[in-house]
Amino acid sequence: MQQRLVALLLLVASVACAFPVASAFGGDVRVALKHVDAGKQLSRPELIRRAMRRSKARAAALSAVRSRGRSARFSGGSDQQQAPGATPVRPSGDLEYVVDLAIGTPPQRVSALLDTGSDLIWTQCAPCANCLAQPDPLFVPAESASYEPMRCAGPLCSDILHHSCMRPDTCTYRYNYGDGTTTMGVYATERFTFTSSSGDDALSVLLGFGCGSMNVGSLNNGSGIVGFGRNPLSLVSQLSIRRFSYCLTPYASGRRSTLLFGSVADGVYGDDTAAGPVQTTPLLQSPQNPTFYYVHLAGLTVGARRLRIPESAFALQPDGSGGVIVDSGTALTLLPAAVLVEVVRAFQVQLRLPFANGSSPDDGVCFVVPAAWRRASSAPQVPVPRMVLHFQGADLDLPRRNYVLDDHRRGRLCLLLADSGDDGSTIGNLVQQDMRVLYDLEAETLSFAPAQC
């Protein structure tokens, strides 16, 4: 009888190790987000130019993902659906916002990059064969009582496209990002503690995560990445989060942005940050690229005129190409080349300003400001046409600062738009600043409203 009891306890323990169990999760958690360049004493033009460089890498990575979905037709979690010899890619690790959290028992502090365009949760771990520069000490699994390598039978292990069992009954992984960043190590379960924006520990849960000991590429002021995408590995999926929202502050504001996730009560827009009406548009999904949050963009207005761009220019195609992604990790709004040409032409006609000569690719699309307007930073702004994004059921009338950069020192006015590199589009975080953006995965909608974040 005693032997049977011991065997039963061992069986229960092995099942518990194989399956990560997130703690019972109810209510909402509000955490602070820090921009990666916060505290560097840079001007707004300098901050945006740095973000433009990151956006170029991000654009290439997103384009690679869409191309892979089109050519290989893999759904993100199955080796069988991937073309022989193909290497999956994810959006770039060169991201924009950092969330502070802690891992382990007792907790070890970590700064992780937020990414709505990828799924894996991971951090760099000691001992580390090859690690990237990071602001925090490496996470040390040996010093945590709650660290547990996942068994090969663990369900999340099979959700990692490149996984193996090189050690006896231990899940190992490799995860690649589109900018060349790669993390490899042991996939494990561990206790994650999220700190609220008020400084208290708001949530403590067990999650599956990558403990990376061989990492190559770029981690921009972070120690790892928290994926908020739609696939099983993400925080959203592991915690069965049905709604989350964020409110992003302007880069140079000095204020921290906020991330709210959980059940997110209907009153999310009822706080004192709301400064305008709430608009809602459907979320779309692509079987080829299931991680991403797609929306239906129907057209654009520049000035008083809606541009003659067909809706098909923004359509999500059955093969995973095209479509419009809403992404927190890209600064600029990215448009297909043909669409960008039409938008820039409309601005040029209405601004009646010449293009800036000799500008670097990092400056985006820039116009020369008339000599009469070239003053110090206190100079009045050059009047620009309004810009409206027309979604299905919602119109986003952009504040000037969300799509224009006034670079007084260089005598330029730049549009915060860039070429996506393919037929897909991305709504970047500059467009979303000072807006409360709500992802409702229960209703499959995206809502937004002007706010004082």
Task: Tell me which residue has tokens 């305008």.
Answer: 276
Distances (CA, A) of 195 to 42, 72, 199, 272: 27, 40, 6, 22
Q: What share of the chain is helix, strand, coil (3-state, %, to 5)?
A: 20, 35, 45
**Closest by alpha carbon to 231, among 155, 173, 153?**
155
Distances (CA, A) of 49 to 154, 228, 322, 368, 453: 43, 26, 27, 17, 22
What number of other Cβ atoms are within 10 A of residue 139's Cβ? 26
Assess contact for 302 and 350: CB atoms under 8 A.
Answer: yes
Residue of 119, 159, 179, 327 marked active site: 327
Residue of 28, 115, 179, 422 marked active site: 115
The rounded distance, in Å, linking the Cα atoms of 375 and 105 is 56
Q: Is 370 left (phi over 0), alpha (psi -120 to 50) or beta?
A: beta
Task: Tell me which residue has tokens 């600043």.
Answer: 433
Note if 327 is an active site residue. yes
The rounded distance, in Å, linking the Cα atoms of 140 and 106 is 11
The edge-to-edge listing of strands for the beta sheet with 297-302 is: 305-306, 297-302, 387-391, 394-397
What number of other Cβ atoms are within 10 A of residue 349's Cβ? 12
The rounded distance, in Å, linking the Cα atoms of 33 and 100 is 8
Helix (H) / strand (E) containing 148 = strand 148-149
Strand 121-124 and strand 201-216: pairing? parallel
Cα Rg for the chain, rounded, in angstroms? 23
Q: Is 236 helix (H, G, I), strand (E, B) or coil?
A: helix
The rounded distance, in Å, linking the Cα atoms of 350 and 367 is 12
Note if 169 is an active site residue. no
Known catalytic residues? Answer: 115, 327
